[in-house]
Amino acid sequence: MGVEIERKFLVRGDDWRQGAEAVFCRQGYLLSNIDCTIRVRVAGDQGFLTIKGQTVGLARPEYEYGIPLADAQAMLDGLCARPLVEKVRHTLTCAGVTWEIDEFLNENQGLIVAEVELESAEQALELPPWVGPEVSHDPRYLNVNLANHPFSRWAPAG
């Protein structure tokens, strides 16, 4: 069984951009409930189907499979709920750890989230200076929730 152990953080400033590799991602959801999500993603020129279980702490079951690009695009265009989540995923390594910084577009414009996958929930993590507040336990920042309730519709912080 695949398990994803992930921490998420908001991002400060632009220092993280130096040396990061970027790929455009477009993703949508075929199924989304508390127990399971089924996602289709096009990342660059690759298609993926991902099944995720319920999050417990920082971990959740995850299964990801490469699928033909044309199939992924057809599912995104014809089967997935709207809005789709579109973002530029920037990848870089800091202190031996790979970070994925998602710069969201369209209805989630203005949101930048850094995530890091860990070997265990207890793994020590050196935070780069551009890492802001942790949002790992805030369900609003799950991509599936950004599809259902985009960042642009959140009430202003007050």
The string of pLDDT tens digits covering residues 11-36 is 999 999 999 999 999 999 999 998 99
How far is 24 from 15, CA to CA, in rounded Å?
A: 20
Looking at the predicted structure, is the pLDDT value of residue 86 above 60? yes
Residue 110 belongs to domain with CATH number: 2.40.320.10
In a domain, 158, yes or no: no
Percent of the chain with pLDDT over 90: 92
In a domain, 92, yes or no: yes
In a domain, 98, yes or no: yes
Question: Does 63 participate in catalysis according to the annotation?
Answer: no
What pLDDT is recorded for position 156? Answer: 78
What pLDDT is recorded for position 4? Answer: 93
Which residues are CB-contacts of 7 (< 8 A; sequence separation ≥ 6)? 58, 115, 116, 118, 125, 134, 136
Query: What does the pLDDT average to over 38-51?
Result: 98
The residue from 29, 63, 65, 141 that is catalytic is 29
Number of domains in the chain: 1
Which stretches does DSSP call E strand in 12-84? 21-32, 36-43, 46-53, 59-67
Looking at the predicted structure, is the pLDDT value of residue 123 above 70? yes
- Taking the model in full, what pTM does it have? 0.93
Summary mean pLDDT of the chain: 95
Domain region containing 8: 3-153
In a domain, 67, yes or no: yes
Query: What does the pLDDT average to over 44-55?
Result: 96
DSSP line for 86-153: EEEEEEEEETTEEEEEEEE-GGGTT-EEEEEE-SSTT---PPPTTEEEE-TT-GGGSHHHHHHS-GGG
What pLDDT is recorded for position 126? Answer: 94
